[in-house]
Chain A
Amino acid sequence: MSKKKKLMAETELASAEIIHPAEDPKLRLLNVSYIYSKGTPFEMKALDSVSLDIHRGKLTGIIGHTGSGKSTMVQLFNGLTTPTSGKVLLDGEDIWAKPKEIGKIRFRVGLVMQYPEYQLFEETVSADIAFGPKNMGLSGEEIIERVNEAASFVGLPQNLMDQSPFDLSGGQKRRVAIAGIMAMRPEVLVLDEPAAGLDPQGRRAIFSGIKRYNRETGCTVIIVSHSMEDMAEFCDDVVVMAHSKVLMAGSRDEIFSHAEKLEEVGLDIPQITRLALMLEKEGITFPESLYTVGYATEAFAALFDLGEGGGV
């Protein structure tokens, strides 16, 4: 790149308007675009100059309709793909500054891909979970400790650890795959649709395991999901994507107070929020936006208390 061009690119980056900015973001995307099959008739722009901050230590949910570019975005976070233009900053440093050392970035940002159960290959579950830590060059004891810790986060019972991963159920395979990344103890854990295709109980188990990981280790966690209800229940921050761009991002409260906007782009809002919106149309107001059943119960109780002057 010529000096002039470089300067221009830098000023452009400086002028990027970051969505949901943070003082000290864990991850920052600066004007990131990604184009599949560039230079062929099948060219496809999957991300269109996205500038976004992921807050340190938070559990961030990414939602968006199918094909909105969620998977494309999360693969940029750990350097699996290189942005067509723009920069990905981890702790303020460009992850592609030293392309040779991208392997180190992949240990710091752990990515669980969509439908990860097909990546299992070892003879036993514990050996498969140990694959990542082994690649990091850890000692035997350390590996065993991490494998057990990761297995407990995702709720894998001890008696499964010596079975072949090919003999497990779909949900169990999913847990093994997630544990395989968790065992690397990445600073940022990214999960692409970790609960897709699981039953409600399986979903809850996986989500609460991930949340526990976030709270106990203090690591930044990013979850891609279709389910608004899960997002509403488990996430601190929410990023909404639509048509290769970030439509909005912010804390959970901020995002769900724009429930109507979410519906406009074809996303499902939690049923309880929809109910609250309907009631608001009828003239019943709530002090804050409702998105989980827990909050709603309290809010309704408070409402009835006021309405009927005490006991029900």
Chain B
Amino acid sequence: MKGFALGQYYPADSVIHRLDPRMKVIAAILYIVASFLCKNFFAFVLLVVSALFLTLVSKIPLKILLRSIRALIFIMIFTAVINIFWFTEPDAEPLLAWKFIKIYRGGLFNALFILVRILAMVIGTSIFLTYTTSPIALTDAIEHLLRPLAKIKVPVHEFAMMMTIALRFIPTIVEETDKIMSAQKARGADFTTGSLMSRAKALIPVIIPLFASAFRRAGELATAMECRCYHGGEGRTKLRILRYHVRDFVALFVIFLFVGGIIAINIFGAKYGWVYTM
């Protein structure tokens, strides 16, 4: 529980940690786009290399990174397996045929590519966004990037404030859940045995106090904000002002180079008919 409460943010001193959060959001989006652009074997090699490079540069221990992958392992295997069975090549000899199941060489590659693609996306986004950027910095960045939408009356600031508050209270609420569960365990509540129904019922003594305190906290926070004359985003200045540095532009340049590289490999691949395209 506690591990979750602290969020995924992993404090370390790396170039990626120091990048401007806005740049990291853009980088993450470009990285996802790049992984979708990959069309042939060599493009995927470049994608794998880039993921390894990011891991090394970010100084996130492999063990920690694997944890975020483990959460998605089921989806990854599921998609890969589906791809193996779904793939048909009309004029190729299947590698294996048994009743209606036919497995083709292309299907295997396809599954592998999809696996690599999901892996790279998870690694890329978690390195850029979750592990190296604190949630508060991330909301700040999103507010900045969405600011143009305020022109068409989208309440960007309010959304950002809601998100900040929600993020701020996740650890508090998790901690409180822990505490209430401990308190009820001390009174003999049992959350781990019994039928599904009785386990759901066992949660009542946790949920009621949790809601009661969440509402109380919300009320208190609203009062506190009003006492400090909070009146929405208009004319509000920031404590931490985001500024781009040279390193941010260098990083952006590298990312563009990477996307360009993938596009180039795709074009060459198409021209010379490289194998294992998808």
CA distance A78 to B186 in the complex (A): 8
In B182-202, the 8 Å CB interface with A consists of: 182-190
Q: Is B11 a contact partner of A136 (Cβ separation < 8 A)?
A: no
Q: Which of A75, A118, A132, A180 has the most CB of B within 10 A?
A: A118
Is the C-beta of B209 less than 8 angstroms from some C-beta in chain A? yes
Is the C-beta of A166 less than 8 angstroms from some C-beta in chain B? yes
Is the C-beta of B70 less than 8 angstroms from some C-beta in chain A? no
CA distance A180 to B205 in the complex (A): 13
- Min CB–CB distance B116 → chain A (angstroms): 29
- Min CB–CB distance A248 → chain B (angstroms): 28
Chain B minimum-CB-distance residue to A75: B182
Binds B, one of A35-43, A46-54, A213-221: A35-43
Chain A residues positioned under 8 Å from B208 (CB to CB): 121
Is the C-beta of B213 less than 8 angstroms from some C-beta in chain A? yes
Q: Is B3 a contact partner of A135 (Cβ separation < 8 A)?
A: no
- Min CB–CB distance B89 → chain A (angstroms): 48
CA distance A113 to B185 in the complex (A): 11
**A181 interface neighbour in B3, B10, B187, Cβ under 8 Å:** B187
Q: Is A113 a contact partner of B6 (Cβ separation < 8 A)?
A: no
Chain A minimum-CB-distance residue to B12: A41
Q: Is A132 a contact partner of B10 (Cβ separation < 8 A)?
A: no
CA distance A70 to B153 in the complex (A): 53
- Min CB–CB distance A44 → chain B (angstroms): 10
Chain A residues positioned under 8 Å from B188 (CB to CB): 103, 106-107, 131-132, 135-136, 184
Q: Is A121 a contact partner of B183 (Cβ separation < 8 A)?
A: no
Q: Is A184 a contact partner of B183 (Cβ separation < 8 A)?
A: no
CA distance A241 to B180 in the complex (A): 26
Interface size class of B (residues with CB under 8 A): 20 to 34
Is the C-beta of B246 less than 8 angstroms from some C-beta in chain A? no
Q: Is A116 a contact partner of B212 (Cβ separation < 8 A)?
A: no
CA distance A188 to B187 in the complex (A): 13
CA distance A110 to B186 in the complex (A): 6
Given contacts A103-B188, A135-B189, A184-B187, contact A42 B6 (CB under 8 A): yes
Chain B residues positioned under 8 Å from A121 (CB to CB): 204-205, 208-209, 212
Q: Is A80 a contact partner of B209 (Cβ separation < 8 A)?
A: no
CA distance A123 to B165 in the complex (A): 31
Chain A residues positioned under 8 Å from B10 (CB to CB): 41
Q: Which of B11, B187, B205, B213 has the most CB of A within 10 A?
A: B187
Q: Is B186 a contact partner of A131 (Cβ separation < 8 A)?
A: no
Number of interface residues of A (CB under 8 A): 28
- Min CB–CB distance A114 → chain B (angstroms): 8
- Min CB–CB distance B53 → chain A (angstroms): 23
Chain A residues positioned under 8 Å from B2 (CB to CB): 36-37
Chain B minimum-CB-distance residue to A102: B185
Q: Is A118 a contact partner of B213 (Cβ separation < 8 A)?
A: yes
Q: Is A119 a contact partner of B6 (Cβ separation < 8 A)?
A: no
Is the C-beta of B247 less than 8 angstroms from some C-beta in chain A? no
Q: Is A113 a contact partner of B3 (Cβ separation < 8 A)?
A: no
Chain B residues positioned under 8 Å from A103 (CB to CB): 188, 190
Chain A residues positioned under 8 Å from B204 (CB to CB): 121
Is the C-beta of A111 less than 8 angstroms from some C-beta in chain B? yes
Chain B minimum-CB-distance residue to A129: B187
Chain B residues positioned under 8 Å from A132 (CB to CB): 187-188
In A104-148, the 8 Å CB interface with B consists of: 106-107, 110-113, 116, 118-121, 131-132, 135-136
Q: Is A80 a contact partner of B3 (Cβ separation < 8 A)?
A: no
Chain B residues positioned under 8 Å from A166 (CB to CB): 212
- Min CB–CB distance B152 → chain A (angstroms): 43
Q: Is B187 a contact partner of A80 (Cβ separation < 8 A)?
A: no
Given contacts A36-B2, A41-B10, A118-B213, contact A80 B189 (CB under 8 A): no
- Min CB–CB distance A296 → chain B (angstroms): 38
CA distance A131 to B183 in the complex (A): 12
A-B contact pairs, 18 of them (CB 8 A): A80-B182, A80-B185, A106-B188, A113-B179, A118-B183, A119-B183, A119-B184, A119-B187, A119-B209, A121-B209, A131-B205, A132-B187, A132-B188, A135-B189, A166-B212, A181-B187, A184-B187, A184-B188
A111-B186, A112-B186, A118-B209 given; 11 more Cβ-contact pairs under 8 Å: A37-B6, A106-B185, A118-B212, A119-B187, A120-B209, A121-B208, A131-B187, A135-B187, A135-B189, A135-B190, A181-B186
